[in-house]
Amino acid sequence: MIKKIVSLFFLCALVSCKSNSPVVAYKVEQQSVAKTLEFLASDELQGRAAGSPGIDKAAQYLEKVFSENSIKPYFSTYKDTLSNYPKTTYNIVGYLEGTDPKLKKEFVVVGAHYDHIGLAEKAIDGDNINNGANDNASGTTAVTEIVKYFGKTKSNKRSILFVFFSAEEEGLLGSKHLAKKLKEKNFNIYTMLNFEMIGVPMKRDFTAYITGYGKSNMASKFNEYSGKNLIGFVQQELTYRLFMASDNYPFFTEFNIPAQTVCTFDFENFDYYHQVQDEFKLMDTAHMTSFIQDMLPVIEKMANTSTKEITLKK
């Protein structure tokens, strides 16, 4: 009997049967990550400035990602036209209804901004296109892979709103527009997670950091949900007030809920923020693929817990 118990113990360890060890059979493919990232950061899109023909091409691409993965438009179409920007530009918004009769009334919002700063006034070595591979084609790519996962598995009891924000570079205008619009409609939001600049790895003992680290228990819950030291704290997020610098912030101000951004740019690992050298060839797609894979059970857990486990700190 003792021998049998010992054997079962080692078998359990081999198959990772601990309760905090997530099991996700789905595999994020590096080739898929690279394909999306390379297109979004291509010269063809001319830096994806809000209101430009280039960002319109990106919008069409992202709409196709939604439609091919059974993600429905949340509004009458995927396009949510900004009301606070002089040129015509769109958030791209889709949703996947939850499977639980009660929990599906609550929403988890997962997003990233897909715009960048367009063309530079002065060329560097003949290049004037701010391709924005890290900022923020990388975060946008992460959301497309999360869309593909949930579109395939439908493993969410809560509903998920997927958003690609425009005009973030103009002052968070896409997220300000949408958060206000949803608030007016009494949108039932649990939490919001934003992806920003995840194209290169950090040299730390955790994979990513979260902005507004001390505002909620999101970081500790993410580590619990992932079964590893996935999310940590970096001083720069406080020094540069990054919590207020991306599309999570309007959701925090409108709804007073945990709304935060995950990022792997720590001001030490990438030299080309808002420069024409921010190109696909400098991105580490193996790192991105691994991080996205680690985030799948995290977001799945967010969408499935029976109670709202992620809470603001008083």
Q: What is the pLDDT of residue 22?
A: 62
What single letter denotes the amino acid at residue 140?
Answer: T
Which DSSP category does 43 fall into? G
Give the separation between CA 223 and CA 218, rounded to whole angstroms: 9
Nearest to 299 by CA among 58, 76, 96, 18: 96
Give the separation between CA 61 and CA 192, rounded to whole angstroms: 23
CB 145 within 8 A of CB 292: yes
Give the separation between CA 130 and CA 30, rounded to whole angstroms: 24
CB 243 within 8 A of CB 212: yes
Q: What is the pLDDT of residue 86?
A: 97
Cβ-proximal residues to 102 (8 Å cutoff; 6+ apart), any chain:
none
| CATH for the stretch 23-302 | 3.40.630.10
241-254 residue pLDDT tens? 999 999 999 999 99
Give the separation between CA 212 and CA 192, rounded to whole angstroms: 13
72-108 residue pLDDT tens? 999 999 999 999 999 999 999 999 999 999 999 999 9
The interaxial angle of helices 30-40 and 53-68, nearest 10 deg, is 150
Nearest to 92 by CA among 168, 197, 186, 199: 168
* Residue 281 CB-half CA count within 13 A: 3
Polymer length in residues for the chain: 314
Nearest to 92 by CA among 108, 125, 107, 114: 114
Q: What is the pLDDT of residue 23?
A: 61
CB 162 within 8 A of CB 114: no
Give the separation between CA 92 and CA 249, rounded to whole angstroms: 18
The residues of the chain scoring below 50 in pLDDT are 1-21
Question: In whole angstroms, how large is the CA radius of gyration of the chain?
Answer: 19
Give the separation between CA 171 and CA 152, rounded to whole angstroms: 34
Give the separation between CA 195 and CA 145, rounded to whole angstroms: 12
Q: What is the pLDDT of residue 7?
A: 40
Give the separation between CA 148 and CA 114, rounded to whole angstroms: 17
Nearest to 297 by CA among 172, 167, 155: 155
